[in-house]
Structure 1
Amino acid sequence: MPRGPPLTDLEKGQILALHHQLMSLRDISKELGRSVGAVQRFLKNPSLTARSQAHVTGQKLTVREEKAIIRKATTGNYSARDIKQDLNLPVGVRRIQKILSATPHLKYRKMKTAPMMTSLHREKRVRSVRRFISKGDFFWNKVILSDEKKFNLDGPDENACYWHDLRKNERFFSKKQNGGATVMVWGAISPYGVSPLVFLNGNQNSGKYCETLDKALLPFAAEMYGEMENWVYQQDGASIHRSRFTRSWLNEKGVRTMDWPAKSPDLNIIENIWGIMARRVYLRQRQFDTIEQLKEVIEDVWAIISGELLQKLYRSIPRRMLAVLDGQGRATKY
């Protein structure tokens, strides 16, 4: 029988990667739809056809070097440029990227963000989640969740990228909680609707925060739930949220609050709302010239958050709690 077409660069990279995973010749053949003979000939002497894979300088990589590239990438700590420099390779960055792209268990991903957590943070998260679970799933229908969100004129903050080994857990990028803001908003949600959106001007203190709650939270809660005893307010542990002034104001107004664990954005579904809003606000890489333009679009996007989306997110809360327990308090996929 005549031989099939020559192996492509992509197929060669895939063969090397699968062989590195100790896959048999027959299994590699089935996976790629190429003959066992073609796979075997290539693995016997990959350097014979390496010129077509090498950089324009004519240099070529050995099988050992390609395996070293893949090993570096699977740690998640190296970019293609870092690998080239660290291993002192004679080929370009693009060649290394092709090898990594052809490796079945590697995928280039944006690193998810999560706050830095100590063992004490993780322990507190586990204790809090156990307490929340004991209240039952229906409890969350009474909870008003709140948060602040920053929007930039020139687009959303970007996440770090890395080569993700699909056989391992995803990595998280640790970010600072308080960065410089362009436009800061406060919002709250219930399973039944969204609160008025409040744009926060200047540095915030306890007095300003309570003014926001007075003009936005209390009317919203009254509309959604009626009597004060029918709802509970969630807020994070920012200093102005837990100050003596704020605690006194909340107590005076009869607002019941939750003891929310620190470093837990993955438990607060309003974070998902902010993510959806950011994608819509900056649709097609849109940027803004003025604060007024940005505010107008933010308000429009907030106004069309659907009840169906809110209810779906609220139904996910019990699963989030279980994920925290399963991960012993560590950051979850949420």
Structure 2
Amino acid sequence: MINRFGSDGRKWVWKQKGQPLLDREVEGTVKYGSGKIMVWGCMSWDGVGRMVEVEGKMNAQQYVDILTCGYLPSLEDWGVSVEKSIFQQDNDPKHTSKLVQKWLDDQGIEVLDWPAQSQDLNPIEHLWEHLKRQLNKWETAPKGVFELWDRASVEWKGIDAKVCQNLVESLPRRIEAVIKAKGGHTKY
């Protein structure tokens, strides 16, 4: 999810008891019209693939539609056949639903086995953070969700393949860190 303004999480400030908040420590909020977009995207060694808007709350059918108009065309863009690709996704229930599994099987898409709750290992999660950092460099906030989408599209398409390659190459280090932490949290 990409927010038009600010963070989608809490922010903390440490203060001494009785000490007032400073203006720089407070982030304003917007009650109406702030907006956010939800997007799906993919990446490979060759760079980013298509970015697709997620409309409302995604279900298994919308995920199949997204894979159809996002993943398959991305493979074509990269010049990679389905047979030579291995698809990685998390274990979200809609991703592992019978409908999605049947679609993946029908397309001949091999899916990489992946542990649940392993965002620190997944390269795309780090790519989303990269995209958000790029969006934060804009001097002004977008005027609405359409402008936010336009900016996200520009920044997504501008991600150099080397960024994706660095994320893929960092995977052994991330796996090693998870093993060292015995499955616990890592710096990633």
TM range (shorter): 0.7 to 0.9
Question: Which residue is 2:21 aligned to?
Answer: none
Instruction: Render the CA deviation track for 1:182-241: whole Å, top value 9, x for unaligned.
Output: 210000000112111101112211111101101110121233353322110011111110
* Matched letter for residue 151 of structure 2: V
2:5 aligned with 1:154 = yes
Contact kept? 1:155, 1:287, Cα under 8 Å = no
Question: Which residue is 2:146 aligned to?
Answer: 292
SS in 1 for 2:120: helix
2:54 aligned with 1:200 = yes
Question: Which residue is 1:188 aligned to?
Answer: 42
SS in 1 for 2:40: strand
* Matched letter for residue 227 of structure 1: S
Partners of 1:283 and 1:216 in 2: CA distance? 27
| Distance apart, 1:161 and its partner CA | 4.1
| Distance apart, 1:160 and its partner CA | 4.0
Instruction: Render the CA deviation track for 1:281-302: whole Å, top value 9, x for unaligned.
Output: 1226742331111001000100
Taking a change above 3 Å as real, the CA distance of residues 324 and 202 of structure 1, as seen in their structure-2 partners, is same
SS in 2 for 1:275: helix
Taking a change above 3 Å as real, the CA distance of residues 261 and 225 of structure 1, as seen in their structure-2 partners, is farther
Partners of 1:287 and 1:238 in 2: CA distance? 32
Structure 1 unaligned spans of 5+: 1-149, 164-180
SS in 1 for 2:93: coil
Partners of 1:316 and 1:207 in 2: CA distance? 33
Question: Which residue is 2:174 aligned to?
Answer: 320
Taking a change above 3 Å as real, the CA distance of residues 225 and 324 of structure 1, as seen in their structure-2 partners, is farther
Match of 1:307 among 161, 178, 182: 161
Q: Which has the higher contact order (CA 8 A, sep 6+)?
A: 2
Question: Which residue is 2:183 aligned to?
Answer: 329
Structure 2 unaligned spans of 5+: 15-34
- Structure with a larger share of its residues in helix: 1
What are the residue-to-residue correspondences of 1:141-290 with 2, within 5 Å?
150-158=1-9, 160-161=11-12, 182-283=36-137, 286-290=140-144
Taking a change above 3 Å as real, the CA distance of residues 215 and 284 of structure 1, as seen in their structure-2 partners, is closer
Q: Over aligned residues, Cα RMSD in angstroms? A: 1.9
Partners of 1:287 and 1:204 in 2: CA distance? 27
Identity among equivalent pairs (%): 32
Partners of 2:140 and 2:187 in 1: CA distance? 28
Partners of 2:116 and 2:12 in 1: CA distance? 26
Contact kept? 1:225, 1:231, Cα under 8 Å = no
Rg (Cα) greater in structure: 1
Q: How many residues align?
A: 168
| Distance apart, 1:151 and its partner CA | 1.0
Partners of 1:281 and 1:227 in 2: CA distance? 32
* Matched letter for residue 151 of structure 1: I
* Matched letter for residue 36 of structure 2: T
Contact kept? 1:250, 1:256, Cα under 8 Å = yes
TM-score, reference length from structure 1: 0.48
SS in 2 for 1:266: coil
Contact kept? 1:323, 1:332, Cα under 8 Å = yes
